[in-house]
Amino acid sequence: MKPITRITATLALTLGLTLGAVAAQSASISGEVKKIDESAGKITLKHGPAKNLGMEEPMTMVYRVKEPAMLKQVKVGDKVTFEAEEAASGFTVTKMEKAK
């Protein structure tokens, strides 16, 4: 492989990985657990803007959870970071962890 081709390929790969990491960070939403409804598989979160979901303003909202086990990892009052997606059944939390 020619040196210039190798450098170009390395730069393209590095840029792709960096953009992927930035996109993943911007999908994370900071919030606080307000209510947990294990029987319904739902959680109420007060959170900041979630631009990837089209939410420009902070709000409190009820979400479904992808995995019911997520609800056992948090309690009311916990600060969390989470990712969510819009599905046919409504907005669904796909990943959640306690904030550090």
pLDDT digits (tens, 9 = 90+) for 32-79: 999 999 999 999 999 999 998 999 999 999 999 999 999 999 999 999
| 19 or 1: which leads in pLDDT | 1
Q: How many domains does the chain have?
A: 1
Domain containing residue 62 = 29-98
- pTM score: 0.73
Question: Residue 41 domain-assigned?
Answer: yes
- Within a domain: 75: yes
CATH number at residue 57: 2.40.50.320
CA-closest candidate to residue 85, choices 60, 58, 57, 50:
50
Chain centroid to Cα 78, Å, comes to: 16
